């Protein structure tokens, strides 16, 4: 059941590396790209995450010159791939922070899939977690999962909490190898070639986040860091 995978760059922020790597990289400015993955195959047009709200799809000064990459609102990025919003029949959210579900409401007729724990927390978040805004998912019906599942043949969702209470890692079967979209916010520095993976810098449970990023690093396939610059050029 091979699928094709195309990353769509929907926005950029510019925090420091410590947002990605726990106790490492604070004060080191980085570009933080925000993606939606367009997945096609088996008669489906699927989005893994919907990126940053189109109204916030800004390109910071110097980003294009430094990286050679261009930001586009999600509908424009889809149009460039020959896809209209009504063509999208499934949306899978790794989690419900604003930069991962910012455009869910553009696809009201799609199946929206998320972990039940994550949906519950989004609707009643802890006061310390400012990344949730129910506006992005209001009026949508969700198909919820309770742990590991294969909601679409050839696409597996693995519960990997820690970054958020119900974040899930999505594994997509392609013609060459599985493509892994981690449920936790990370970039290339979270996955060093040698040694353990580095815990995400933002988490609700550091122990669980650490354990689950080790689990992700050990999975068979190629990892597309959720906020990695290299992800923009990875197409399968």
- Per-residue pLDDT of 133-157, as tens digits, reads 888 998 899 999 999 999 999 999 9
Residue-level pLDDT at 16 = 94
- Per-residue pLDDT of 124-138, as tens digits, reads 999 988 889 888 998
Evaluate whether 93 touches 100 at the Cβ level (below 8 Å). yes
Q: Label residue 223 by pLDDT band (50, 70, 90).
A: very high
Residue 10 has pLDDT above 80, yes or no: yes
Count of CB atoms situated within 10 Å of the CB of 212: 26
- Per-residue pLDDT of 17-70, as tens digits, reads 999 999 999 999 999 999 999 999 999 999 999 998 988 777 888 999 999 999
Stronger pLDDT, 61 or 182, i.e. the higher one: 182
- Per-residue pLDDT of 201-221, as tens digits, reads 999 999 999 999 999 999 999
C-alpha closest to that of 161 among 89, 124, 98, 216? 216
Q: Which helix (H) or strand (E) holds 100?
A: helix 98-101
Task: Give the 3-state secondary structure of residue 111.
Answer: strand
What is the separation of C-alpha 202 from the centre of its chain, rounded to a whole number of angstroms? 14
- The rounded mean pLDDT for the chain is 95
Residue-level pLDDT at 129 = 87
Give the integer Cα–Cα distance in Å for 62 and 26: 21
- Per-residue pLDDT of 78-119, as tens digits, reads 999 999 999 999 999 999 999 999 999 999 989 999 999 999
Evaluate whether 191 touches 230 at the Cβ level (below 8 Å). no
Rg, Å, the chain Cα set: 16
CATH of the domain at 201: 3.60.15.10
Residue-level pLDDT at 1 = 65
Q: Which domain range does residue 227 map to?
A: 4-233
Residue-level pLDDT at 27 = 94
- In order of 17, 185, 205, the CA distances from 200 in angstroms are 10, 7, 10
Task: Give the 3-state secondary structure of residue 120.
Answer: helix
Count of domains for the chain: 1
Residue-level pLDDT at 59 = 85
């Amino acid at each position: 059941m091979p699928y094709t995978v195309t990353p769509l760059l929907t926005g950029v922020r510019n925090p420091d590396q410590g947002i990605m790597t726990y106790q490492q990289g604070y004060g080191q400015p980085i570009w933080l790209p925000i993606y939606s993955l367009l997945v096609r195959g088996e008669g489906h047009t699927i989005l893994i995450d919907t990126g940053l709200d189109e109204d916030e799809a800004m390109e910071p000064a110097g980003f294009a010159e430094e990286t050679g990459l261009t930001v586009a609102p999600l509908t424009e990025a889809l149009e460039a791939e020959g896809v209209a919003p009504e063509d999208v029949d499934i949306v899978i959210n790794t989690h419900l922070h604003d930069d991962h579900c910012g455009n869910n409401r553009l696809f009201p007729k799609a199946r929206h899939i998320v972990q039940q724990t994550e949906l519950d927390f989004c609707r009643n978040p802890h006061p310390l977690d400012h990344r949730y805004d129910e506006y992005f998912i209001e009026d949508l019906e969700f198909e919820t999962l309770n742990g590991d599942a294969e909601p679409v043949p050839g696409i597996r969702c693995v519960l990997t909490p820690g970054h958020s209470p119900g974040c899930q890692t999505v594994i997509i079967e392609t013609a060459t190898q599985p493509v892994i979209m981690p449920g936790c916010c990370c970039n290339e520095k979270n996955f060093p070639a040698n040694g353990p993976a580095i815990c995400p810098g933002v988490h609700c449970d550091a122990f669980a986040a650490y354990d689950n990023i080790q689990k992700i690093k050990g999975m068979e396939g190629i990892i597309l860091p959720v906020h990695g610059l290299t992800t923009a050029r990875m197409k399968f």
